[in-house]
C-alpha cells in the first residue's frame, strides 16, 4: 500500500489544481481551483484550445463574464473526472463587497446549471473576510454551497460555522511560512514538524472544536508544503493536495495512521465561542489580535487579486 491509498481510508482526498489532465491518475473525490491555479493551467499549450474556444464563443461579453465562463469551463471538465464536487472561486477583488460576491456566486452557479451541472456538485469559494462570510450565509440559505478560503484563524472558522457554510479551507502551509519567517535562525524544522507544526495545530484545533460541538461545516486542510503536514492531519474531513504532493504520497509505500480522533474531540473540555452576524466588532477585534491571520489574509487577497488582473490581461491579449 502507498501513503495516498492509505490516507484515503481516513480522509477524503481532494486535488488542488486547475490542470484537469493531471487529476485522473490520483482518483480524488473532489477538486479545488482558484484564479491562480487556472492562470497556471491556461498558460500551458495543451489548454490553449480551451481558452480560445471560450473567447470565440463569448468574445462580446464583459471581461468578468469571460473569466467566469472560463472558470466554469475548467470546472465542468474537472467534474467529468471526479465523482464529487469542484470548488470555483469568486474574484478576490470582491472580498470586501458582500452584495457583489453574492451576485458573482449566483452567476457562477447559473453558468454551471446551464451546462447541466447541478449546484450540489459546486462549492463557491469565497475569502473568509467578514463580508465574505456574510455573503456565504446568504448563499447557503439559497441552497448555494460555499467553501470559505484564505482562512488562518480560529475566529474565522467559528464565524463560518455560525454562518452555516458547507466547508472551510484552513491554510496550513501559509501559517507555517509565517511562523518560520518570524522565527528566523531560531526555527528548528525537526522540532516544528508533524503535530508541532503551527499550521497543523491550527487546523486540528478547528476540527476538534467542530466535532466537539457537533458543527456540520466540513474542514478541509489546504496549502501544504510537505507530506509530513498532510500525514499529521490524517483523519481530517478532507485535505486538498497539489498534484506534486499527491504524486509523492503515491510513490511512497507505507501505512498511514489517523491523527485526529473524533471521540477524543467530543470528550474534550472546550469553551463555546460564537461570532454571529451581530458580532462584527468582536470578530474584527479577534482577527486584528491575530497578527499572523491578519497579515496572511491581506497578503492572500492581494496575491489572488494580482493573478485575477493577470488573467484579465491574458484574455485581453488574445
**Phi and psi for 130 in degrees, rounded to 5?**
-60, -45
> What's the CA gap between 26 and 94, in Å, rounded?
33
112: nearest Cα among 169, 74, 152, 57: 74
- Is the distance from CB of 110 to CB of 86 less than 8 angstroms? no
Looking from the CA of 22 toward its CB, the CA atoms found within 13 Å total: 19
User: In terms of DSSP bridges, do strands 167-170 and 238-241 run parallel, antiparallel, or are they unpaired?
Assistant: unpaired
- Is the distance from CB of 2 to CB of 208 less than 8 angstroms? no
> What's the CA gap between 229 and 174, in Å, rounded?
12
Helix (H) / strand (E) containing 164: none
C-alpha cell at position 50: 480551451
Count other Cβ atoms within 10 Å, centred on residue 16: 25
Q: Considering Cα of 30, then 36, then 39, then 45, what sign does the dihedral take?
A: negative
> What's the CA gap between 134 and 279, in Å, rounded?
11
Active site residue 125: yes
Would you give the end-to-end CA distance of the chain in angstroms? 46
Q: Indicate which residue of 125, 180, 211, 296 is catalytic.
A: 125
User: Which residues does the annotation mark as catalytic?
Assistant: 125
Amino acid at each position: 500500500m502507498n501513503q495516498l491509498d492509505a490516507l484515503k481510508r481516513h480522509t477524503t482526498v481532494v486535488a488542488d489544481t486547475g490542470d484537469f489532465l493531471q487529476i485522473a491518475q490520483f482518483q480524488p473525490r473532489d477538486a479545488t481551483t482558484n484564479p491562480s491555479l487556472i492562470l497556471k493551467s491556461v498558460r500551458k499549450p495543451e489548454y490553449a484550445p480551451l481558452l480560445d474556444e471560450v473567447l470565440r464563443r463569448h468574445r462580446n461579453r464583459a471581461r468578468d463574464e469571460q473569466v467566469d465562463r472560463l472558470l466554469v469551463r475548467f470546472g465542468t471538465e474537472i467534474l467529468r473526472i471526479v465523482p464529487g464536487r469542484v470548488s470555483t472561486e469568486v474574484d478576490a477583488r470582491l472580498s470586501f463587497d458582500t452584495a457583489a460576491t453574492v451576485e458573482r456566486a449566483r452567476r457562477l452557479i447559473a453558468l454551471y446549471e446551464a451546462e447541466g451541472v447541478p449546484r450540489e456538485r459546486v462549492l463557491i469559494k469565497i475569502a473568509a473576510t467578514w463580508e465574505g462570510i456574510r455573503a456565504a450565509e446568504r448563499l447557503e440559505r439559497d441552497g448555494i454551497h460555499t467553501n470559505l478560503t484564505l482562512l488562518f484563524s480560529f475566529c474565522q472558522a467559528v464565524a463560518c460555522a455560525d454562518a452555516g457554510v458547507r466547508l472551510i479551507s484552513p491554510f496550513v502551509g501559509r501559517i507555517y511560512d509565517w511562523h518560520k519567517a518570524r522565527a528566523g535562525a531560531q526555527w528548528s524544522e525537526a522540532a516544528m514538524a508533524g503535530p508541532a507544526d503551527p499550521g497543523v495545530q491550527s487546523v486540528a484545533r478547528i476540527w476538534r472544536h467542530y466535532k466537539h460541538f457537533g458543527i456540520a461545516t466540513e474542514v478541509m486542510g489546504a496549502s501544504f508544503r510537505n507530506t509530513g503536514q498532510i500525514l499529521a492531519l490524517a483523519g481530517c474531513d478532507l485535505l486538498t493536495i497539489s498534484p506534486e504532493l499527491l504524486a509523492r504520497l503515491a510513490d511512497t509505500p507505507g501505512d498511514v495512521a489517523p491523527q485526529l480522533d473524533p471521540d477524543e474531540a467530543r470528550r474534550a473540555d472546550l469553551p463555546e465561542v460564537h461570532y454571529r452576524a451581530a458580532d462584527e466588532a468582536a470578530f474584527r477585534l479577534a482577527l486584528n489580535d491575530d497578527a499572523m491571520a491578519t497579515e496572511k489574509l491581506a497578503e492572500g487577497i492581494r496575491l489572488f487579486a494580482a493573478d485575477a488582473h493577470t488573467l484579465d490581461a491574458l484574455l485581453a491579449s488574445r
